[in-house]
Amino acid sequence: MTSASSLRLELPSLPAAAEDLRREVRAFVDEERATGRLPPPRRVGLGFCPDTTRRIAERGWIGLTWPKPYGGQARSALERYVVTEELLAAALPVGAHWVADRQSGPVILRFGNEEQKREYLPRIARGECFFCIGMSEPQAGSDLAALTSSAAKVAGGWRINGRKIWTTNAHRVHYIIALVRTSPGDGARHAGFSQLIVDLKAPGVSVSPIIGMHGDHDFNEVLFEDVFVPDEALIGAEGNGWNQVSAELAFERSGPERWLSSFRLICELVDVLGADAQPSSLEALGRLLSHLLTLRQLSMSVASMIQQGRPPNLEAAIVKDLGTKFEQEVVRVVRDITSAENLTADGRGERLKALLIHGQLWAPAFTIRGGANEILRGIIAKGIGLR
């Protein structure tokens, strides 16, 4: 347990190599734009484009921090941080490899055995193998430990039954890492869970779409009916699933995707807003920018912690609580300035208008996905000694 008095982050210092890398990523982004492959986005959210993913992989930017024998570049967490923020800020459609690069790969690297590392990591790094997350269930959302999907031990493997929900991209990726119950846990709420890698093409797996209120097909429900997976599918020790998932969620919670989701709205606003804007509009924009730069500072500091091998669970929860609220606020503030400055009247600001509509439709999800903010604040309360 951390006490309240030790809640303090160290100032991050980006190595010179990270700034070189930043220039390379910006050159790549310029090239994508110049060739017409990256038009200014009209939608919020991570686009899914295997071709873009392969081009990013060719530069060596997937699995950047992983050891070289597994297809990585053995570079630092801060360098990965730089690649991440540059790609997201430019709205590159990185959705195909995002989960594998951010959490599935790191979980395999940290908890998996040698065969699993050799089997999956190089393919992820080459941009050929995509993953989705198998945590939430219809009756286990914020209360993840209430999940009931199970895997029974059978000869040579496991037989999985159950249902996962809100699985982003399950209809177009290759694998899901499913958190399932493998033993009763004997009354201990967090015991008896394990993580299994499941091929989404395996017999007995069916994927059905869940269309979001924004009209897009990102989410799915994944049904497992007597799905057999071999012993090699188990990641880490049987029964250690909860610890592994907690570590995985910390990777998921502190990155720039938790405060950049609605960033392109600010880009569009700045593009059309002149210095003759009303003082109240400039003040509101300045306030947003100050929150943006603060979140970035926090996010970089957490990347430093990860680099030093220190568990950032409390700090990552803080970044996500602040970051996702900021993402929603961006939508509100950009909408209000757009209205006050009359930026989309008479057919003007057409792209800003489209992005605003889509941003408003996405916004309620920002503070739910990857751990609802009330749950995050529970983690923070625990971290500062209140529970």
Partner 1 sequence: MSETQAFFRETAERVLADSVSERDAEAAESRKLPEALFAALEETGILSMMAPADVGGVDASLADTAAILQAAGAAAAPGPLLETLLGRSLLARSGAEAAAGPLTLVFWPEADGPLPGDRLWPQPPVLHDVPWGGLVERLLIIAPSARGVRIIASQPAAWTIEPGADAAGEPRDRLSAANLPVQVTEIADAGFDELCRTAAVMRAAQLVGALEWCFHRSAEYVMERKQFGRELGKFQAVQQMLAELADNALAAAAITDAAAASPSRALVASARSRIADAADAAITIAHQVHGAIGFSREYALNHRTRRLMAWRDDYGSVHHWRRGLAEEFVGLTRDAFWPAVADAGLSQPA
Give me the residues that bind partner 1 (CB under 8 A), please: 4-5, 7-11, 13-14, 26, 33, 40, 85-86, 89-90, 263-264, 266-268, 270-271, 273-275, 277, 279, 282-287, 289-298, 301, 315, 318, 321-322, 374, 376-378, 380-381, 383-387
222: its two tokens = 């994944």
351: its two tokens = 């792209």
Q: Find the shortest distance in angstroms from Cβ 279 to partner 1.
A: 6
**Which residue, 139 or 294, is less far from partner 1 as judged by CB?**
294
Residue 48 DSSP one-character state: B
**Which residue, 295 or 361, is less far from partner 1 as judged by CB?**
295
Strand boundaries in the chain, DSSP class E: 131-134, 150-154, 157-165, 175-181, 193-199, 205-210, 219-230, 234-235
Measured CA angle at 275 (ends 33, 264), to 5 deg: 35
Residue 255 DSSP one-character state: S
**Which residue, 293 or 345, is less far from partner 1 as judged by CB?**
293
Q: Cα 355 from chain centroid?
A: 21
Q: Please measure the distance between the N-terminal and C-terminal CA atoms of the chain and give it in whole angstroms.
A: 9
Q: Find the shortest distance in angstroms from Cβ 141 to partner 1.
A: 17
**Which residue, 173 or 379, is less far from partner 1 as judged by CB?**
379
81: its two tokens = 């941080």
CA atoms of 278 and 148, how far apart (whole Å): 55
Q: What single-letter amino acid sits at 249?
A: L
Q: Find the shortest distance in angstroms from Cβ 311 to partner 1.
A: 16
**Which residue, 5 or 213, is less far from partner 1 as judged by CB?**
5
CA atoms of 385 and 387, how far apart (whole Å): 6
Q: Find the shortest distance in angstroms from Cβ 333 to partner 1.
A: 11
Answer whether 237's CB lies under 8 Å from 307's CB: no
Give bridge partners of residue 160 from the DSSP assignment. 151, 227
Q: Find the shortest distance in angstroms from Cβ 69 to partner 1.
A: 31
**Which residue, 294 or 342, is less far from partner 1 as judged by CB?**
294
Locus of tokens 């597994």: 70
**Which residue, 225 or 374, is less far from partner 1 as judged by CB?**
374
Residue 240 DSSP one-character state: B
**Which residue, 217 or 287, is less far from partner 1 as judged by CB?**
287
Q: Find the shortest distance in angstroms from Cβ 298 to partner 1.
A: 5
**Which residue, 10 or 58, is less far from partner 1 as judged by CB?**
10
Q: Find the shortest distance in angstroms from Cβ 142 to partner 1.
A: 13
CA distances from 49 to 81, 273, 320, 363 (A): 21, 31, 26, 23
CB atoms near residue 278 (< 10 Å): 12
Q: Find the shortest distance in angstroms from Cβ 186 to partner 1.
A: 27
Kind plus residue range of the DSSP H or E element containing 279: helix 279-307
Q: Find the shortest distance in angstroms from Cβ 165 to partner 1.
A: 25
Answer whether 362's CB lies under 8 Å from 261's CB: yes
